[in-house]
Structure 1
Amino acid sequence: MTMLLAAEGLGMRYGGHVVFEGLHLSYGAGAVALVGRNGAGKSTLLALLAGIAAPQAGRVMVCGADLASATKGQGARARLAWVPDASVAYDFMTGDEFLRMVQALRGCAGPQRALLDGFGIAGYLGARFGDMSLGTRKKFMLAAGFMGDAQVVLMDEPTNGIDADARAFLVAQIGMRAREHLVLFSTHDKEVIALTGARVLDLSARCS
């Protein structure tokens, strides 16, 4: 099995609280559900795996390349797609402007019409984020994450705030992408875990 994402000896603490210590992970293609009690460090781990934050110890490898490497990190990031729980778009941006920005930053293809229709956002491309509902904003984040052909897709609570139709489409997208890529997502939704057939990574059992 080709390793798409690996973490070696990850360590992270805030003050006297140890979040991770000597955490090792390795995954090839498939779906992985990150679970654990509140405060177990799910969002922190995803931020480290996505390169949003740097671990205090250890390293993250994407398709064999060190995410923090000055020479290889850019290539590793190009293979990643990151979907945060909250919107990262400016309120003045339109949906179309946001997707074009992500496309330029990642150097990937724009969203196919089926992706826009599936998440129900085709009619909001001209709307500004400041005028969108939280659910519509979230669906734009999800569509951006599935744009292109990222080999590793990381998502923080992807079902939060979206309607049943978008949730069903998300489940289908995870299943399709996980055939040849890795989709790792945090969730409290046990039904989504079952529907996607995701392996479970329980941080409550691994971390202090």
Structure 2
Amino acid sequence: MTDPAVTVPLVTVPLVTVRGLRKRYGRALVLDDLDVTFGAGVTGLLGRNGAGKTTLLRCLATTLAPDAGEIRALGFDPATRSGRSGVRRRLGYLPQDPGFYPHFTAFETLDYVAILKEMTDRRERHREVWRVLSEVGLDDRARTKVRKLSGGMRQRLALAQALLREPGLLVLDEPTVGLDPEQRLRLRALVSRLGENRTVLLSTHQTEDVAALCERVLVMDAGRILFDGTPAGLAAVATGRVSLGDDRPGPGSLFWRTADGRYRTIGEAPAGAVAADPTVEDGYLLLVGRTEGAA
């Protein structure tokens, strides 16, 4: 396997710092002495299920306390009561499974969350609710009850509540779930703009979103960081290990038949195959060892 040399991007202003973070669920070690720093910009987190991505995001979002280690976010220590309050006032969090009151309208849902975020001036609060509804393209559904919204609309509503009050730290766990291609493109444009002046952490299984959106990508596995660098650097992990050929590869390789009838192989190139340009997905699969015996 290609040696996953770590390429560390520039982090000019460390807005979030994690040191020695550990978390267990029973006997399973989910975060293993994790050290990482985040500055302004969009960082993507990739990893198989159980790699520790969601646990890390929950710790940063102050909904889960680590067993050991420390976090500093936006100048606050979330291990203290006052520090947690300070982070939460400046945090936008989209969890994997956001829960809503089904009989609330979209507007009422966001108005309620805005009150929880200490927006006490009614006129200012309503103006902010309309702003985030427009940002996610739900202003025409403001008076629709949550139970009548489609899955994709609920996901956009969850994103809207995370955007309330212009958070300095935006934590998004699988934000593109349930979105159609047009909505995903709109989300990319929105997150890209938000990342210009704040810290955005984006956990996803969509490698194309990482390639299109993130300046930086982390690959996690077993509670540790295997790679920290740019999407181009992750793709480069697969340099010389991706090929195209006319003949079907033998067992033990990861391959698929492309639209033009050729076979794309990740790993050992079959006889007669020619080298192909690697992608972020190729580098990720090689890094986490998902190509062995796949076919």
TM-score normalized with structure 1 length: 0.92
Query: Would the aligned equivalents of 1:50 and 1:80 in 2 still touch at CA under 8 Å?
Result: yes
Q: Which residue of 1 aligns with 2:285?
A: none
Aligned to 2:289: none
The partner residue of 1:147 within 164, 178, 184 is 164
Q: Is structure 2 residue 200 aligned with structure 1 residue 183? A: yes
Which of these residues, 42, 49, 62, is aligned with residue 60 of structure 2? 49
Residue number in structure 2 paired with 1:165: 182
Instruction: Say which is worse superposed, 150-159 or 140-149, in terms of deviation.
Output: 140-149
Partner of 1:32: 43
3-state DSSP class of the match of 1:72? helix
Aligned counterpart, 1:107: 118
Give the distance between the partners of 2:178 and 2:149, measured in 1 at CA: 13
CA RMSD of aligned residues (A): 1.8
**Count of residue pairs the alignment pairs up:** 207
- How far residue 206 of structure 1 moved from its aligned partner, in angstroms, is 5.3
User: Which residue of 192, 201, 207 corresponds with 2:218?
Assistant: 201
Alignment of 1:60-71 (within 5 A): 60-71=71-82
Give the superposition deviation at 1:20.
1.0
Q: 174-183 or 55-64, which moves further after superposition?
A: 55-64
In the alignment, the residues of structure 2 paired with residue 117 and residue 166 of structure 1 have an alpha-carbon distance, to the nearest angstrom, of 13
User: Unaligned stretches of 5+ in structure 2?
Assistant: 1-11, 120-124, 226-295
**1:111-170 CA distance string (max 9 Å, x none):** 454x43453311221112122211111010111222222111000101110122221111
Q: Which runs of 4+ in 1 moved over 4 A?
A: none
Q: CA deviation at 1:97?
A: 0.9
> Counterpart in 2 of 1:91?
102
In structure 1, how many angstroms separate the alpha carbons of the residues matched to 2:28 and 2:72? 25
Distance 1:22 1:207 in 2: 8
> Which secondary structure state, in structure 1, belongs to the residue aligned with residue 100 of structure 2?
coil
- Contact 1:118–1:166 at 8 Å: present in 2 too? no
- The alpha carbon displacement at 1:56 in A equals 0.9
Displacement of 1:101: 1.5
Shift of 1:105: 1.7
**Larger relative CO (CA 8 A, sep 6+): 1 or 2?**
1
Which is higher, the Rg of structure 1 or of structure 2?
Answer: 2
Letter in 1 for 2:86: G
Q: CA deviation at 1:90?
A: 1.3
For structure 1, the 5+ residue unaligned runs are none
TM-score by length of 2: 0.66
CA distance in 2, matches of 1:167, 1:111: 21
